[in-house]
Amino acid sequence: MKELLNKKDIERIISRIAHEIIEKNRGTENLCLVGIQRGGVHLAKRLAIKIKAIEQVEIAVGSLDIAMYRDDIGMRKDHPIVRKTELPHDISGKKIVLVDDVLFTGRSIRAAMDAIMDFGRPAQIQLAVLIDRGHRELPIRADYVGKNIPTSRKENIEVELIEEGDSDKVILYEE
C-alpha cells in the first residue's frame, strides 16, 4: 500500500484544475459541472467553490448516477447501487464538465455521456478527473487530469475524500 496523494496535494490539484477550466473556457459562461456518483460529486462541488473564489461566479453543479447506463449489469460481483441524479434544470446548449475521481477503462464515462444525452443536448462535454490510471478500453481521454498514474491491472486505486471518509488521500494497493 502506498499513499500517492495527501490532503495538500489534492487541494493543489483542485485549485489548478479550477484555473484550467476557466482558462480553457475563457470564463464561466454557460458552464456547468456534473459529478459522477459518488467521488465525482464531491470533487465537482470543491471545483465549484474554487471557481467561485477565483471568478466570483456561482456555477451550477449536478450529480449523475450511471448505474442504469452501465454495460456490465449482471456481469459484476456486486450490483451497482442506484443513487441520485440531479442535473441543472436544462442542460441543452450548456458546456458540461464531467467530473470523476478515477479514469480507468473509460466505460463509466461512456455510460455518463449516454445518461447526459437523455436529459438534453449539451453544446460540449469535457472531462476532469483526479487520477488517470490508464488501461482505456474505449477512445476516451480527459481534458483535465489531476495526476497520471501508470498502474498494472493487478493494482487498485482508492480515493478517499473527507466528505465520506476520515481524510483526503489517494492510495495504491495490490489486490
Partner 1 sequence: MKDRHLLGIRDLSKQDIELCLETAKGFKDVLRRDIKKVPALRGKTVINLFFEPSTRTKTSFEITEKRLSMDVLNFSVPSSSVVKGESLLDTIKTIEAYGVDFIVIRHSSSGVPHFVANNINASVINAGDGINEHPTQALLDAFSILEKKGSLEGLDIAIVGDIFHSRVAKSNIYLLSKFNNRIRLIGPPTLIPEIKNYNIETFSDMDKGIKGVDVIMMLRIQLERQGKGFFPTIQEYFKYWGLDKKRLAIAKDDAIVMHPGPMNRGVEISSDVADCPQSVILDQVTNGLAVRMAIMYLLSGI
Shortest CB 20 distance to partner 1, Å:
32
Measure CA 142 to chain center. Answer: 10
Shortest CB 84 distance to partner 1, Å:
7
Shortest CB 95 distance to partner 1, Å:
21
- Site residues (vs partner 1, CB under 8 A): 65, 67-70, 73-74, 76, 78-85, 114, 118-119
Q: Which is nearer to partner 1, 114 or 155 (by Cβ)?
A: 114
3-state secondary structure 48-114: HHHHHHHHCCCCEEEEECCHHHCCCCCCCCCCCCCCCCECCCCCCCCEEEEEEEEECCCHHHHHHHH
Q: Which is nearer to partner 1, 88 or 134 (by Cβ)?
A: 88
Q: Which is nearer to partner 1, 17 or 116 (by Cβ)?
A: 116
Residues 83/69, Cβ–Cβ less than 8 Å? no
